[in-house]
C-alpha cells in the first residue's frame, strides 16, 4: 500500500492519480457506444436495471469529453474501469459486475464506506497495471462501461464503445479526479437517475454545512492537506481544489500559498527547507502508520513548525486516508464522520501525535 505521485508510472496508486500529471480534458456525460466525437449513437446491448433505483428514465443521453452517449435501457452489467466510480454507482443503488483496483486491495476493490451498499455482490476486479484489460472486459458482456476517473483517451473510448455505451471524463474536467459532483451527475444521468444523483450530492453538502455550523471555530482557519511524509526528499501537498473539498466544505481556508507552487491538477512538492509553506493553523497528514510519523518528527524543519509544536497536526489511518483520496459522495461522508472530531482538537491545539481513524 504505497503510492505517491508518479512514483510508479506502471500503476496508478492512490495519490498518484490525484497528483501526477492530471491533464485537463473536457467531458461531462455518458460516453456513447458509437461515435466517439459527437452526438454518438449507441450500439450497446440493451439491459434492465439490476438495481432497485427508484427513478429511471431511459433512453438516457449524456454529454462528455468525447461527445455523447446514449444508454437505451437500465443497465444490468455495469463495468467500472476507473479508480473510484464504484462508490457513485453503489451510492445510486446500482451494483457493478466489475470494479477496478486502485490501491489498498480492499474486498472487490470496494472500501469500508461502500461495503454495505455492495452487500453480498462479488464483482470481478480488474487491473490497469498494464493498461485497460479490453479482452477481459469484453468477456464480461457489459451494457455500460464507466470510466469518468480512468484517464481514458479517445482511442480507448472508441474501443470501449464497440463493446457497450461508455462514459469517459466529464466536460471541462481532468483525466483523473474531476469534481466529484460532476462525475456523480454524469453517472447518475447515464443511469437514468439524475434526480437521485443531485440528492446524493445535496445530502453530502448539507451534512458538511451542518457540521460547519456546529464548528464555527473552523471558519477562516487555514489548513494544509499532505500526502504522507517525505519521498525522495519532498513532501507532496494539495493546493485548493485538488481533493481538498473535505476541508473547504467545513469552512477551512485551504492553504493559499500552494497554488503558486503547483502545476494545474498536481500537488505541490515541498522540500524540507521550504516547510514553512505548510505551517498553517491545521495540518492534515495521511500518515497511515506510526513509522511515518516518527520519520517526520526526525526532520528538524518539520519539528520546528508552529503547527507541530502547537498540536495542530492530524495524522490519519489507511482507511481514512483512502477516503480522503477517493473524493466520492460515500467517502466524503466517511471523512466527515471520522475526521471532524480530530479537526476540532487540532484547531484547539490539543491534537495528539497519534493516528486517527475508525477505531
In whole angstroms, what is the distance from residue 71 CA to residue 33 CA?
A: 8
The architecture in CATH of the region 216-356 reads: 3-Layer(aba) Sandwich (3.40)
pLDDT the model gives residue 43: 26
DSSP 107: G
Task: Check residue 354 and give its pLDDT.
Answer: 83
Q: What is the pLDDT of residue 335?
A: 98
The residue among 238, 235, 229 whose CA lies nearest residue 267 is 238
Q: What is the rounded CA–CA span in Å between residue 90 and residue 32?
A: 22
The whole-number pLDDT of residue 287 equals 86
52: Cα separation from own chain's centroid = 25
Q: What are the residue ranges of CATH 3.40.50.1980 in the chain?
A: 14-205, 216-356
Report the alpha-carbon distance of residue 333 to residue 322 in Å, rounded: 13
Q: Which CATH superfamily is domain 14-205 in?
A: Nitrogenase molybdenum iron protein domain (3.40.50.1980)
- The whole-model pTM stands at 0.86
Q: How far apart are CA 179 and CA 183, in angstroms?
A: 6
pLDDT averaged over consecutive 10-residue blocks of the chain (359 residues)? 33 44 31 32 30 67 98 98 98 98 97 98 97 98 98 97 98 93 98 97 98 97 94 93 96 97 91 96 91 90 96 96 97 98 96 81
Residue 357: per-residue pLDDT: 86
pLDDT at 223: 98
Amino acid at each position: 500500500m504505497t503510492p505517491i505521485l508518479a512514483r510508479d508510472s506502471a500503476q496508478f496508486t492512490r495519490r498518484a492519480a490525484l497528483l501526477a500529471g492530471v491533464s485537463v480534458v473536457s467531458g461531462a456525460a455518458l460516453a456513447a457506444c458509437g461515435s466517439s466525437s459527437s452526438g454518438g449513437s449507441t450500439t450497446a446491448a440493451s439491459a434492465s436495471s439490476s438495481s432497485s433505483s427508484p427513478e429511471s428514465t431511459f433512453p438516457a443521453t449524456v454529454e462528455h469529453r468525447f461527445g455523447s452517449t446514449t444508454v437505451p435501457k437500465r443497465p444490468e452489467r455495469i463495468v467500472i474501469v476507473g479508480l473510484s466510480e464504484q462508490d457513485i454507482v453503489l451510492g445510486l443503488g446500482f451494483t457493478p459486475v466489475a470494479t477496478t483496483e486502485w490501491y489498498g486491495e480492499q474486498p472487490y476493490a470496494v472500501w469500508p464506506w461502500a461495503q454495505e451498499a455492495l452487500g453480498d455482490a462479488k464483482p470481478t476486479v480488474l487491473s490497469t497495471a498494464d493498461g485497460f484489460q479490453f479482452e477481459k472486459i469484453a468477456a464480461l458482456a457489459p451494457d455500460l462501461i464507466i470510466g469518468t476517473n480512468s484517464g481514458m483517451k479517445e482511442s480507448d473510448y472508441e474501443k470501449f464503445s464497440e463493446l457497450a455505451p461508455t462514459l469517459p471524463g466529464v466536460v471541462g474536467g481532468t483525466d483523473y479526479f474531476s469534481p466529484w459532483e460532476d462525475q456523480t451527475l454524469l453517472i447518475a444521468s447515464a443511469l437514468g437517475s439524475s434526480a437521485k444523483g443531485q440528492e446524493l450530492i445535496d445530502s453530502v453538502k448539507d451534512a458538511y454545512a451542518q457540521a460547519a455550523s456546529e464548528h464555527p471555530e473552523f471558519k477562516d482557519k487555514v489548513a494544509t492537506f499532505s500526502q504522507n511524509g517525505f519521498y525522495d526528499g519532498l513532501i507532496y501537498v494539495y493546493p485548493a481544489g485538488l481533493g481538498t473539498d473535505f476541508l473547504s466544505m467545513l469552512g477551512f481556508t485551504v492553504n493559499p500559498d500552494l497554488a503558486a507552487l503547483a502545476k494545474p491538477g498536481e500537488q505541490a512538492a515541498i522540500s524540507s527547507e521550504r516547510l514553512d509553506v505548510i505551517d498553517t493553523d491545521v495540518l492534515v497528514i495521511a500518515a497511515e502508520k506510526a513509522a511515518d510519523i516518527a520519520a517526520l518528527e526526525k526532520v528538524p524543519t518539520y519539528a520546528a513548525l508552529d503547527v507541530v509544536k502547537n498540536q495542530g497536526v492530524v495524522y490519519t489511518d489507511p482507511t481514512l486516508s483512502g477516503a480522503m483520496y477517493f473524493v466520492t459522495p460515500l467517502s466524503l461522508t466517511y471523512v466527515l464522520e471520522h475526521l471532524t472530531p480530530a479537526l476540532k482538537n487540532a484547531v484547539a491545539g490539543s491534537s495528539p501525535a497519534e493516528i486517527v481513524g475508525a477505531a
